[in-house]
Amino acid sequence: MSARVRRIPASDSVIRRAPTMEDVAREAGVSRALVSLVMRERPNVSEERRRRVLDVASRLGYRPNAMARSLASRRTKTVGVILDDLRNPFFAEIAGGVEELAFEVGYQLLLAAGGRQARRERAAMAALLEHRVSGIIMVSPRMPAGVIAAAAAEAPLVIVGRAVRGVDADSVLINEAHGTGLVLDHLIGLGHEAIAHVDGGTGAGGPQRRSAYLRGMRGHRLARHALVIPGDFTEEAGVSAAAELVRRPQLPTAIFAANDMVAAGLLGGLDRAGVEVPRDVSIVGYDNISIAHLAHVSLTTVDQPRTEMGRLALELLLDRIDNRRANEVRLIEPSLVIRSTTAPPRTLAAAVA
């Protein structure tokens, strides 16, 4: 582009570079300031000149330069989003929610993925700060709290999915305890007592769900039935958990999986072992990912409103950008979606019959 500008300065009839505000002003016979006022849709510009400027602008194919605008006005209508991995639908959907609202309010989205590494996350963060984004949304950040706090000092920040103490930022958190409570209430309401849990290891939400499960079992006086099979949020974990459960003398009557992938693995593994769901054992997942609602799967699971979480995060960020509000924590209440993988335990079903 820039290399193409090779002409005698005086020859001004055909300009090869992109037209600037100056060009529009000259052509319309007004000042640059007036053009600026028109482009920013400010009041107190006579209708006649507005028309004239707009006409010339579109005739020349003028496009305001966002860089120059940001530099002069000291604000970019741009927010940065840092997330783990776009290929994970959970994050992609949150980003989708952010994008949706950003478009509505005329903000641009600068996106960076952390690729599951704190190092990459920090690089992404640095890049966003260099771009002087108006604010940053971090989804399930992995970097140390200290780094996050430092970032919060440089730009308005909203953190999604992780509680970070002592940081000047708003956050959007999921009430994992509540979600887990819904699962247990549902299963216990159906008559289940032997409810096992395949956990999610150290991944986001994993520990919270496990401890909420243990607490819940105790609360319902079912501590003796509590059983945690270690997992890691993958389908494979579900498959091997199924194998392990089948090997035991007694199958639980219900299994609470740390997420839907694990639940899918369980479904597959149990199916191959000849265990029928939900007749022999009920299964509940977590996340309500797209596969959960498939007729073929029809998984009872806990739904988290991901798009809304994204929107909410941006809402908080926008407030923070212009109101500079106090740190706020918004707790998202998940809900239970009951489908076909849960039913009363067999014994009870038999008793009724």
Partner DNA sequence: GCCTGTAGTTAGAGCGCTCTAACGTTTCGG
Partner DNA sequence: CCGAAACGTTAGAGCGCTCTAACTACAGGC
- Residue 72 interacts with DNA (CB under 7 A): yes or no: yes
Q: With CB under 8 A as the rule, give the number of residues binding a copy of itself.
A: 59
Applying the rule CB under 8 A, the residues between 259 and 298 that interact with a copy of itself are 264-265, 267-269, 271-272, 290-291, 294-298
Query: 291 is in the binding site of which of DNA, a copy of itself, none (Cβ under 5 to 8 A by kind)?
Result: a copy of itself
Select the residue interacting with a copy of itself from 110, 149, 227, 246 (CB under 8 A). 110
Kindly state whether residue 113 participates in binding a copy of itself, applying the rule CB under 8 A: yes
Q: Does 130 interact with a copy of itself (rule: CB under 8 A)?
A: yes
Using the rule CB under 7 A, is 46 a contact of DNA?
yes
Give yes or no for residue 100 binding a copy of itself (CB under 8 A): yes
36 near DNA (CB under 7 A): yes
Q: What is the 3-state secondary structure (H, E, C) of the chain?
A: CHHHCCCCCCCCCCCCCCCCHHHHHHHHCCCHHHHHHHHCCCCCCCHHHHHHHHHHHHHHCCCCCHHHHHHHHCCCCEEEEEECCCCCHHHHHHHHHHHHHHHHCCCEEEEEECCCCHHHHHHHHHHHHHCCCCEEEEECCCCCHHHHHHHHHHCCEEEECCCCCCCCCEEEEECHHHHHHHHHHHHHHHCCCCEEEECCCCCCCHHHHHHHHHHHHHHCCCHHHCEEECCCCCHHHHHHHHHHHHHCCCCCCEEEECCHHHHHHHHHHHHHCCCCCCCCCEEECCECCHHHHCCCCCCEEEECCHHHHHHHHHHHHHHHHHHCCCCCEEEECCEEECCCCCCCCHHHHHHHC
Judged by CB under 7 A, which stretch of 16-24, 161-169, 241-249, 311-319 contacts DNA?
16-24
- Per partner kind, with CB cut-offs from 5 to 8 A, the member of a copy of itself, DNA, none near residue 87 is a copy of itself
127 near a copy of itself (CB under 8 A): yes
Backbone angles phi, psi at 302, to 5 degrees: -100, 125
Rounded Cα distance between 303 and 179, Å, is 8
Instruction: Provide the minimum distance between the beta carbon of 12 and DNA in the complex, in angstroms, as a whole number.
Output: 13
**71 lines the binding site for a copy of itself (CB under 8 A):** yes
Residues 303-332 that bind DNA (CB under 7 A): none
Distance CA 185, CA 183 (A): 6
Question: CA 181, 187, 190, 191: dihedral to nearest 10 degrees?
Answer: -100
- C-beta of 103 vs 144, nearer to a copy of itself: 103
Q: Which residues contact 310 (CB under 8 A, 6 or more apart)?
A: 93, 94, 95, 96, 97, 98, 99, 100, 101, 160
Stretch that binds a copy of itself, among 102-110, 168-176, 224-232, 326-334 (CB under 8 A): 102-110
Q: How many residues does the chain have?
A: 353
Using the contact rule CB under 7 A, the part of the chain among 57-65, 102-110, 143-151, 158-166 near DNA is: 57-65
Which of 33-41, 176-184, 264-272, 343-351 is the region at the interface with DNA (rule: CB under 7 A)?
A: 33-41
Q: Confirm or reject binding of residue 64 to DNA (CB under 7 A).
A: yes
- Closer residue to DNA (CB): 39 or 145: 39
Among positions 92, 145, 273, 275, the unique one binding a copy of itself when judged by CB under 8 A: 92
- Chain residues that interact with DNA, rule: CB under 7 A: 17-18, 20-22, 30-34, 36-37, 39-40, 43-46, 48-49, 62-65, 68-69, 71-74
The site for a copy of itself (CB under 8 A) is made up of 1-2, 18, 63-68, 70-71, 74-76, 85-87, 89, 92-93, 95-96, 99-100, 103, 108-113, 115, 120, 123-124, 126-127, 129-132, 154, 235, 239, 264-265, 267-269, 271-272, 290-291, 294-298, 307
